[in-house]
Amino acid sequence: MNLYFLVEGQTEAKLYPKWLTYLLPEFERVGSYKQAMQANYYIFNAGGFPSIIYKHLPNAIREVNAAGNYDYLVMCFDADEQTVSEREIEVLDCLRRKNISLDNTELVLIVQQCAIETWLLGHRALYNHAHNNKELVKYLRFYNIAQRDPERMGKPKGYDKPLQHFHYEYFIKLCHAQGVQYRKGHPTGVMEQSYFKQLEARILDTPHLPSFRHFYDFCQRVSEELRRRR
């Protein structure tokens, strides 16, 4: 069994491999899609949206079909201000218009609702002392993410930047308050297993972060399929 991951940007290109060591430790990363043999995964950074859909997904499908030994092509990208369903429809419409299809590989869409930072906001311990921080109080009053689902958070009235920017801004404020090291392309402070375990606990204890749960459940399914094959 082999997996081909197509991710949207630099942050995902560093974060997903770490998460896969926790969720799918049986799999080993390869540097080229041609090198996959058994229980391998390859990851390609598409460098942003919309090129991940209109340029790199068709290329990835051609590579997967040529290799002939990939079970899943997993595309991981942000919903931004769209819904998960709208993003999924956009992908399928693109493939239909280009008349591109997979031969013997299943396409799995992991749509991050609304951004990767939205998922990272699920770490409830980040909020332990937030009420003592004047900068954070206004964010908590607007939407208390410690108690409410980060994926359902909108943006304040009059906020003139995109929704994903507000989610990022909220997360960065929390990081600064708690001393967590994070910036785009360098998510060092959120890559440890202890951070991942907090996100895992959030989805197992609550119905929050359903798009992250989709990724988690997919990895659980792959792990079980691999055990059955062995």
The DSSP output letter for 48 is S
The arrangement of strands across the sheet holding 2-7 comes to: 28-29, 40-45, 2-7, 72-78, 106-112
Share of the chain above pLDDT 70, in %: 100
Integer CA distances (angstroms), 108 to 92, 111, 159, 222, in order:
11, 10, 33, 12
pLDDT at 131: 72
- Bigger pLDDT: 229 or 152? 152
Residue 30 corresponds to which tokens in the numbers above? Answer: 């390869």
pLDDT band of residue 32 (cuts 50, 70, 90) is very high
Parent domain of 204:
1-230
pLDDT at 125: 87
pLDDT digits (tens, 9 = 90+) for 133-143: 888 888 999 99
Measured CA to CA, the distance from residue 212 to residue 230 in angstroms comes to 28
- 84, 111 contact by CB (below 8 A): yes
pLDDT band of residue 216 (cuts 50, 70, 90) is very high
Helix and strand element counts for the chain (H, E): 9, 5
User: Is the predicted pLDDT of residue 130 greater than 90, yes or no?
Assistant: no
Measured CA to CA, the distance from residue 192 to residue 205 in angstroms comes to 20
User: Is the predicted pLDDT of residue 101 greater than 80, yes or no?
Assistant: yes
Mean pLDDT of 100-116: 97
pLDDT at 133: 80
pLDDT digits (tens, 9 = 90+) for 167-181: 999 999 999 888 899
Measured CA to CA, the distance from residue 79 to residue 190 in angstroms comes to 21
User: Is the predicted pLDDT of residue 162 greater than 90, yes or no?
Assistant: yes
- 75, 91 contact by CB (below 8 A): yes
Mean pLDDT estimate for the chain: 95
SS3 label, residue 107: strand
Measured CA to CA, the distance from residue 207 to residue 5 in angstroms comes to 26
Q: Which residues pair with 186 in a beta bridge?
A: 183
* Domains contained in the chain, number: 1
